[in-house]
Structure 1
């Protein structure tokens, strides 16, 4: 019996894509010179950076490059690991959460304009920290599911290109032509239990075309049968991918607890919107 979200299954996904002639690009490479049949490997390092190093090493052994987005919190930002992953040739990006971070310093936020001003200052500070370790050209919003603030709102007032950033992974991809697959919720159809890691309207378009997969085995089967489009962004959360051991079991249990909670959050936020 095979179990999902193991390193063996991770390797199999990558090898299946290679066998079918897909090329791999980092997000920054795709923005400047996109290939026609391509996989964008996005790795959101929310925690357990040592797992990110394992995935980066696997990709390197397959001559594949990916993009690794690190938060600037203790659970994610390991300077030695960031340098090592960058040294392999992978892209390092900033997994920003500045509105959520600065909001924690207030009992209540009545002036959102002030929050945005504080957020951009924090963005500059944290971006500078990461750039001391590796070049940073692209960014990716961290969802912060329990926060009432969407970190992406920072760009309603400011422009990330003013800080030498060429792209934001939720904003600068045409998801009408690029299929978005994410392992959020420890499943590949987790957009139903995701507060922010989803593409909304575009997701429904892909659903109508049958591009919804629950397990990695479903994806592998779709690859083998040439059912997938030519351009795909796949988001991996490295903490979810482990050998079949106690860490794998812990991640499975924790995610099965978290998913119903996140579904309730989505329900109550939708209800508040309807009431408002």
Structure 2
């Protein structure tokens, strides 16, 4: 596999190695929320939003486990239910499991219906073990921000300790996401934003690895979507083509949304 190819599972293995060598303590996101403010001076929150491939999530989880790292994997509700076998494997490897919700978009903006769907899906996921935390799916091709439903409820109403955008202190924890097939905080990115100063914009995973090795930020949250990190050259080509096509659509939609809703939205 070409050394120039980014977003491969081999490249993610290098990320894990850099995390360990830099001495970051891995924390499950729910453990972080519950432990505040009694936290270690240096830690990393490894977050994974599983969009379509539980099998790829398991591959990524195995890479992390080989380095002694624990992460939090967020699963979407699918028509066939939640992938029990993959969830069992993730837990056996020492990882936590959360709910990756998109219910406001599924409910076409109906908050009451969105909360009903959230409760139903969460109950289904909990049939496979405890669930303490949730993360929003961006639903970039639809005009609804799934986080808006929290104006009418709280995660604790559903027995959750928190939600990743609302309950991580991003003034203290530096956030990097692979949304848009880049680590840049705004490029090809409609909704995966947190309030942080624009003093560190990365593009490639090699730049992220260099940042980890330099320990530039003592507290980190890294979001990597397992579907994006390919094993074979063929899978990489297919996924890269899909990401680049989606980026073009998202960029166009971003212009449309901003023209209708004003700057900074969605």
The reply to whether TM is greater than 0.5 is yes
Mapping for residues 8-87 of structure 1, pairs under 5 Å: 8-33=10-35, 34-74=39-79, 77-87=82-92
Does structure 1 conserve the Cα–Cα contact (< 8 Å) formed by 2:50 and 2:57? Answer: yes
Matched residue, 1:179: 174
Q: Does 1:270 align with 2:258?
A: yes
Greater mean deviation of Cα atoms: 244-253 or 74-83: 74-83
**SS where residue 81 of structure 1 aligns?**
helix
Question: In the alignment, what sits opposite 1:217?
Answer: 206
Deviation at 1:39, TM superposition (A): 0.7
Please tell me whether the aligned partners of residues 114 and 149 of structure 2 are also in contact (alpha carbons under 8 angstroms): yes
Is the CA contact (8 Å cut-off) linking 1:47 and 1:75 kept in structure 2? no
- The yes-or-no answer on 1:95 pairing with 2:97 is no
Distance in 2 between residues matched to 1:217 and 1:31, nearest whole Å = 29
Work out the CA distance in 2 between the residues paired with 1:5 and 1:138: 26
Unaligned 5+ runs, structure 1: 104-111
Deviations 1:62-96 (A, max 9, x none): 11100000001159932210121122221100001
Residue correspondence of structure 1 range 100-139 to structure 2 within 5 A:
100-103=105-108, 115-139=110-134
Choose 188-197 or 174-183, whichever is displaced more: 188-197
Compute the displacement of 1:177 (Å). 1.4
Secondary structure of 2:47's counterpart equals: strand
Higher helix share: 1
Q: Matched residue pairs, number?
A: 258
**Is the partner of 1:191 in helix, strand or coil?**
coil
Task: State the partner residue of 2:218.
Answer: 230
Per-residue deviation, 1:224:
2.7
8 Å Cα contact 1:24-1:40 kept in structure 2: yes
- What is the alpha-carbon root mean square deviation over aligned residues? 1.7
Q: Give the gaps of 5 or more residues in structure 2.
A: none
Judge conservation of contact 2:51–2:75 (CA < 8 Å) in 1.
yes
- Give yes or no for contact 1:49–1:75 (8 Å, CA) kept in 2: no
